Amino acid sequence: MQRRSILSLPAGLLFLLPAGAFVFVFIILPFFWIAAVSFTNRTLTGRTALNPEFVGLANYRRLFDPDRFFNSGEFGASLILTGQFVFFSAILGQAILGLLLAWFFYNHRGWVQSTVQTLAIVAWIMPDVVVAFAWFAFLDRDDGTLNQILSAIGLGHPDWLLALPMVSIIMFNIWRGTAFSMLLFSSALGSIPPSHLETASVAGATGLQKLRDIILPLIRTHIITVLILITLWTFNTFTPFLLTGGGPAFQTEVVSIYTYRTAFQFFRFGMGGAVGMVMMIINLAFAIVYLGILRSQKAHA
Amino acid sequence: MNHHARFILGRIFFYAGACLFASFFVLPLLWLTVAPFNTLATLSLSLPEEFSLANFRRVFANTFAIRALVQNSVLQAGGAMVLVTITATLAAYALSRSSIKGTDVITYGLVLFSSVVTGTAAMVPIFLMIHGMGLIDTHVAVILVFTGGLLPAAIFIMRDFVDSIPRSYEESALVAGASPWRVFNDIALPIVRPGMMVIAVWAFVNVWGGFLIPFILLRSSGKMPAAVAIYSFYSEAGTPLVTLTAAYSLLYTLPVLLLYLFVNWKYGFRFFGGIKS
């Protein structure tokens, strides 16, 4: 169908110009800039600040140096910590808890459901520093609410942020981000025709059988969408820094914090650029898979 | 009878489970809702002996904290909000209504690039670019970087919105001889205003809560937004500041909660939760 366009080509380009300029300078340019910087020894001050030298792959070789790759505080160790953080807090934590919540309240809409849902959303929309501060107080060894409860029921009072830092940021991130999975899964469950489930009930299926054989296959694309998005977000989040600063002794130094330390505490921008470049390549892989799914969904619709 | 017992058991199971979920989300925030009103608050959760607003008075007496909140945060979040809303609306309108080829590819390309070039992955080039422009330690730097980062998602949401509006009014105005700008300004703009409101609130909340960008781009304490101020309160200082920080955090969170309630009441949650950067 040939449709007359409302905006002519020049007018359209004019309308696109301001946003296009912003996107070019702050999204597209950094992508190429970071690649260029990562091949130099650029620093903040000193001789190499003004005249950075081309060092080829030196930053990458240093980053992937097999002799120390997995040592504490090095890139490999940071990647492993990030993998643990993403796997336990996003994939196992947020996605499963979100699905559990959506399923638990399926068919139970009412004030109880909307209260719990609102509480999860509040945890999700509050600013980063405020929730980090709240958790800082919550996890305090001597006075924190969590240890007040645990010692009241005789479970001791561990020093969460010092002795169990990774567990702490994983719990924190589950609490922080479950609302997204819950909302998406709730709306996915809402789109399943009730007749599907009624037939299964008549046939004598238990709740778990219904979940496994009917619900999960029907919301498969939603599950993949949730998994990819929360993985991308958790991989890129800087919020653990607000709770632990990456410590103690690099035990929670996920790649975002590793980049920050390399670039802004040691001011090795060439090196920090190389880390950022690796992060972007990983992001790109996730984004391409996700876009593929979006497009095939649109094609089906 | 057996049936009846099963029903009651089911109810007990449901309420117990709901309580468990609710406490999981509530417990970490409980302290923060009580401590601001207790002048003697420690990190321990306890009801104040007397309800007091003295902590809030201390916040208002602290010029650093107040300037960060009502001047710097408002300026940075407001500036980015205006820029994002205007440029995203213009761009979304062009992508939806113009004869430019490949607008779908542009839209998806934008979303792809923006999920790859995140604030954390791109902190080095962003810092170096702002450094090169001589804008380090300025409000403008924070506003520009946030605008660039939020625009792709804003355009994506806004385009959906413009696409859903029928073209017939604009077409008849065009036939009547109106210029493209008048068609946009007089006819399209009033219809897309709800979408612009949602984008504005979403952009404001994102910049208001943003930490990393101002943290790396600003240096002088006089320009720090409230997010960085709160971090410096609890990370650098000891317990004496706990009461002040608690009250301050609550004040800083209030606009976010109010805006959420407003959007939720006016448009439903869907818009707000669509894309969160």
Decide if A106 touches B, using CB distance below 8 A. Answer: no
CATH code, domain carrying A187: 1.10.3720.10
Taking only the tens place, the pLDDT of each residue in A115-163 is 999 899 999 999 999 999 999 999 988 888 898 899 888 888 888 989 9
Please count the structural domains in chain A: 1
In terms of Cβ atoms closer than 10 Å to its own Cβ (0-12, 13-18, 19+), residue A149 is middle
Say whether the ipTM exceeds 0.95: no
In a domain? residue A133 = yes
Which residues on chain B are in Cβ contact (under 8 Å) with A132? 231
Taking only the tens place, the pLDDT of each residue in A157-186 is 888 989 999 999 999 999 999 999 999 998
Q: What is the DSSP string of A228-242?
A: HHHHHHHHH--THHH
pLDDT beyond 60 at A244: yes
> Between B21, B152, B231, which is nearest A23 by CB?
B152
Distance from CA of A67 to the nearest CA of B (A): 25
Which residues on chain A are in Cβ contact (under 8 Å) with B24? 175
In a domain? residue A42 = no
- A258-265 long-range contacts, CB within 8 A, separation 24+: A258/A75, A258/A78, A259/B120, A259/B121, A259/B123, A259/B124, A260/B120, A260/B123, A260/B212, A260/B216, A263/B123, A263/B124, A263/B127, A264/B123, A264/B127, A264/B216
Decide if A33 touches B, using CB distance below 8 A. Answer: yes
| pLDDT given at position A218 | 85
| pLDDT given at position B235 | 83
CATH 3.30.300.130 corresponds to the domain B67-273: no
Please tell me the distance from the alpha carbon of residue B107 to that of residue B85, in angstroms, as a whole number: 17
Question: How many CA atoms lie within 13 Å of B75's alpha carbon, on the beta-carbon side?
Answer: 18
Q: Answer whether B123 sits within 8 Å of A263, measured CB to CB.
A: yes
Which residues on chain B are in Cβ contact (under 8 Å) with A143? 42-45
The sign of the dihedral angle between the CA atoms of B265, B269, B275, B277 is positive
Query: Is residue A42 a contact partner of residue A49, using CB atoms and an 8 Å limit?
Result: yes
pLDDT beyond 50 at B194: yes
Whole-model pTM: value is 0.90
Query: Is residue A252 a contact partner of residue A81, using CB atoms and an 8 Å limit?
Result: yes
In a domain? residue A147 = yes
In a domain? residue A197 = yes
| pLDDT given at position A84 | 95
| pLDDT given at position B175 | 86
Residues 3-32 of A with CB under 8 A from B: 4-9, 11-13, 15-16, 18-20, 22-23, 25-31
Please tell me the distance from the alpha carbon of residue B165 to that of residue B168, in angstroms, as a whole number: 9
In a domain? residue A58 = no
Residue of B21, B133, B199 to mutate, interface with A, max A Cβ within 10 Å: B21
In a domain? residue A24 = no
Q: Answer whether B43 sits within 8 Å of A232, measured CB to CB.
A: no
In a domain? residue A91 = yes
Identify the residue with better confidence: A254 or A9.
Answer: A254
Decide if B153 touches A, using CB distance below 8 A. Answer: no
Per the structure, the complete domain to which residue A223 belongs is given by 68-267
Taking only the tens place, the pLDDT of each residue in B200-222 is 999 999 999 999 999 999 999 89
Which residues on chain B are in Cβ contact (under 8 Å) with A10? none
| Average pLDDT value over all residues in chain B | 87
Name which of A3-7, A82-86, B196-200 the model is least confident about.
A3-7
Question: pLDDT grade, residue B1 (50/70/90)?
Answer: low
- Partners of A54 in the β-ladder: A40
Distance from CA of B5 to the nearest CA of A (A): 18
Search chain B and give the residue with CA nearest A179. B273
Please tell me the distance from the alpha carbon of residue B13 to that of residue B103, in angstroms, as a whole number: 52
Decide if B231 touches A, using CB distance below 8 A. Answer: yes
Residue of A38, A128, A130 to mutate, interface with B, max B Cβ within 10 Å: A130
Search chain B and give the residue with CA nearest A273. B124
| pLDDT given at position B238 | 56
> Between A34, A101, A132, which is nearest B125 by CB?
A34
In a domain? residue A206 = yes
Decide if A232 touches B, using CB distance below 8 A. Answer: yes
Q: Answer whether A180 sits within 8 Å of B17, measured CB to CB.
A: no
Taking only the tens place, the pLDDT of each residue in B118-173 is 889 999 999 999 998 999 999 999 999 999 999 999 998 898 888 888 888 888 88
